Chain A
Amino acid sequence: MLKIQNLHTFYGNSHILQGVDLFIKKGEIVSLLGRNGVGRSTLCKSIMGLVRATGSIYYNGTEIIGLPSHQIAHQGIGYVPEDRSIFPGLTVLQNLELGMKNVKKTGRWGLDDMFRLFPQLEERKNLQGELLSGGEQQMLAMCRTLMGNPDLMMIDEPTEGLAPRLVQEIGDFLQEIAGHGISTLLVEQKLSITLNISQRLYIMGHGKIVFEGTPQNLEDYPRIRQEWLEV
Chain B
Amino acid sequence: MLEFVTFSLLNSLVYGMLLFLLSSGLTLIFSMMGVLNFAHASFYMIGAYVAYQVSTWVGFWPALLIAPGIVGIIGALVERYGLRKVHQYGQLAELLFTFGLAFIIEELVIMIWGRVGVDYKIPSSLEFTLFDLFDTSFPAYKAFMLVISVSIFLVLYYVLVRTRVGLIIQAALSHPEMVGALGHDVPKMFMLVFGGGSALAGVAGVIGGNALITEPAMAAQLGTIVFVVIVVGGMGSLTGALVASLLISFLQTFAIGFDYSLYDLVNAMDTWPFLSEAAGPWNDLLHVKVAQTGPVLPYLLLVLVLVVRPKGLMGVRET
Binding site for B on A (CB under 8 A): 48-50, 68-70, 72-74, 78-79, 81, 85, 87-90, 94, 97-99, 101, 103, 128, 144-145, 148
Contacts of B318 in A (CB 8 A): 89
Is B185's CB under 8 angstroms from A89's CB?
A: no
Dominant SS at the A interface? mixed
Is B171's CB under 8 angstroms from A87's CB?
A: yes
Distance of A145 Cα from B175 Cα, bound (Å)? 14
Given contacts A70-B185, A85-B175, A87-B171, contact A128 B180 (CB under 8 A): no
Query: B182 touches which one: A49, A88, A98, A128 (CB < 8 A)?
Result: A98
Most buried by B among A73, A94, A98, A144: A98
Is A73's CB under 8 angstroms from B178's CB?
A: no
Least CB separation from B172: chain A residue: A87
**Count class of interface residues, chain B:** 20 to 34
Distance of A90 Cα from B171 Cα, bound (Å)? 8
Query: A70 touches which one: B164, B180, B319 (CB < 8 A)?
Result: B180
Least CB separation from A73: chain B residue: B183
Query: B183 touches which one: A50, A87, A88, A148 (CB < 8 A)?
Result: A148
Distance of A94 Cα from B183 Cα, bound (Å)? 15
Most buried by A among B164, B167, B183, B319: B183
Query: A101 touches which one: B167, B178, B183, B187 (CB < 8 A)?
Result: B183
Least CB separation from A74: chain B residue: B183
Query: B187 touches which one: A48, A68, A78 (CB < 8 A)?
Result: A68
Sample of 14 further A-B pairs with CB below 8 A, known A90-B171, A101-B183: A69-B181, A70-B186, A81-B177, A81-B178, A85-B175, A87-B170, A88-B317, A88-B319, A90-B170, A97-B167, A98-B167, A98-B179, A144-B182, A148-B183
Number of A-B contacts (CB under 8 A): 69
Q: Is B168 an interface residue (CB 8 A)?
A: yes
Hey, what's the 0/1 contact readout for B186-202 against A, CB within 8 Å counting as 1? 11000000000000000
Query: A73 touches which one: B174, B182, B319 (CB < 8 A)?
Result: B182
Distance of A85 Cα from B174 Cα, bound (Å)? 8
Q: Is B121 an interface residue (CB 8 A)?
A: no
Q: Is B311 an interface residue (CB 8 A)?
A: no
Binding site for A on B (CB under 8 A): 164, 167-168, 170-171, 174-175, 177-187, 317-319
Is A48's CB under 8 angstroms from B167's CB?
A: no
Contacts of B317 in A (CB 8 A): 88-89
Given contacts A99-B182, A128-B319, A148-B182, contact A90 B167 (CB under 8 A): yes
Distance of A55 Cα from B277 Cα, bound (Å)? 83
Least CB separation from A76: chain B residue: B183
Shortest Cβ distance from residue A186 to the other chain B in the assembled complex, whole angstroms = 17
Least CB separation from A97: chain B residue: B167
Is B170's CB under 8 angstroms from A89's CB?
A: yes
Contacts of A99 in B (CB 8 A): 182
Is B182's CB under 8 angstroms from A101's CB?
A: yes
Is B183's CB under 8 angstroms from A79's CB?
A: no
Shortest Cβ distance from residue A102 to the other chain B in the assembled complex, whole angstroms = 9
18 sampled A-B residue pairs with Cβ under 8 A: A68-B187, A69-B180, A70-B180, A85-B174, A85-B175, A87-B171, A88-B174, A88-B319, A89-B170, A89-B174, A89-B317, A89-B318, A90-B167, A90-B171, A98-B182, A99-B182, A101-B183, A148-B182
Is B168's CB under 8 angstroms from A85's CB?
A: no
Distance of A63 Cα from B72 Cα, bound (Å)? 36
Distance of A81 Cα from B181 Cα, bound (Å)? 10
Contacts of A87 in B (CB 8 A): 170-171, 174-175, 178
Distance of A180 Cα from B86 Cα, bound (Å)? 44
